[in-house]
Amino acid sequence: MSLVSLSLDDKDKENFTELQQSIGQAQQELAQLTNKLRVRVGEAKHSQLTLAELETVPDETRAFAQVGKMFLLQSLPELKKELTEKVESCTKDVAAMTEKKTHVEDTYKKVQEDFQEFVKAHVVDESEKDKKEEDKKE
């Protein structure tokens, strides 16, 4: 694999740097959003499973909710209500994040395409490179 030679003036170098930075930002934003989405899906699944287990338990049963390193006595209906609310909020967040992720992916693809077009427009052929080197020698 050979290296690509680009013909760039100062303005083009600035544009090239900006394109590289925008690709980096888009990659970083996409990675962060993907991670947040994965965490939120996990939280929703955990809450759903916990709620499913608690549905079989009678409401009179004493239940404890974990708060940090301690456990607090909490009524079972209240605990179920909190879990239901958490599942609903997680589901809404996942839907919003999925939509945002789609938008960020589209933006990332566009920036990549712009970068590829820029590179293709400024690629120097080997024959042109040889001619420029010969002109410099003379």
Mind spelling out the 3-state secondary structure of 29-57?
Answer: HHHHHHHHHHHHHHHHHHHHHHHHHHHCC
CATH number of the structural domain 27-116:
1.10.287.370
pLDDT by residue (tens digit) across 46-78? Answer: 999 999 999 999 999 999 988 999 999 999 999
pLDDT, position 76: 93
| Contact assessment for residue 25 and residue 104, using Cβ atoms and an 8 Å cutoff | no
Does residue 110 have a pLDDT over 80? yes
Q: What is the pLDDT of residue 123?
A: 78
Q: What is the pTM of this model?
A: 0.72
Amino acid at 32: Q
